[in-house]
Each structure stands twice: as C-alpha cells, then as structure tokens.
Amino acid sequence: MSFINKLFGGSNEPKEEKILPWKALTSMSQLDNIATKSNTKTQVIFKHSTRCGISKMVMNQFVDAFNVDLNVDLYYLDLLNYRDVSQETGYKFQVLHESPQLLIIKNGVAVAHASHGAINSLDLNPYV
C-alpha cells in the first residue's frame, strides 16, 4: 500500500494546512482603497467561485505555492456572494471577468492578471 501512496502522492502523515493572510473583498468601496494602497504596496486579488471544482483546485495550488514573505496585500473575492463587487473589479481595473482569476494591482492599475491554470504560472516576485 505504501508504494501506491508514494506513486499517487498519498501520505500517512497529515499535511499541515497553510493559512494565507487573506483580506475579504466584500464591498465596492474597498476597490478604491486597493487602488490607492497599490501606489505604495502591491495588491493582489484572487477571484474565486466556491461552486467550481477547477477554481477550488487552482486555489489550493495557489495557497500551497504562495510565499507568505511577499510584501503584498492579498484579497479574496467570493464572486458568487459578491457578484456586484466582482463585476466592478473588472470595470475598475479593465480586466475581462474570468474565474478563477488573479489580478495584480500596482499604481492603481492591473499590471498582470491570469485565470485558471495560468494563475499558478504567474510569478508575483517581479511585481513586489
């Protein structure tokens, strides 16, 4: 049985859960604050659909790979519960809506964005 666990990445030891410093993005007024704060510190928005398996998979991969030492503010947007905020995010930062989606905001504009599997290929370091 241990051969199968090794082959498929299974382990008898529980995996330590990584907790990210998420800030909930729940109101449109926060978008102006994010734009303002992005003048001095990179802001990152993760738009997530809580009903989508792909979104959950990408979110888990993002959490696993995220460097908690990065000097960024990290926002989590539940786009199903906050559709109006999700829609306004696209307008404000001129990015076509996709889900899941990651936006990197600097100096009031989206300097990079990615969706689906491309989120985990996006290197945040050059934007910090």
How far apart (Å, rounded) are the C-alpha atoms in residues 127 and 107? 11
Within-domain flag for 118: yes
23 CB neighbour count, 10 Å cutoff: 15
Domain of residue 57: give its range: 21-127
What pLDDT score was predicted for residue 3?
41
Within-domain flag for 28: yes
The pTM assigned to this predicted structure is 0.86
Within-domain flag for 56: yes
Within-domain flag for 101: yes
- DSSP for 24-77, written as a single string: E---THHHHHHHHHTTTSEEEEEEE-TT-HHHHHHHHHHHHH--TTS-EEEEEE
What pLDDT score was predicted for residue 17?
73
Within-domain flag for 61: yes
Within-domain flag for 1: no
Our count of domains for the chain comes to 1
Within-domain flag for 2: no
Within-domain flag for 92: yes
Read off the CATH number of the domain in which 36 is found.
Answer: 3.40.30.10
pLDDT in tens, 73-127: 999 999 999 999 999 999 999 998 889 999 999 999 999 999 998 999 999 999 9
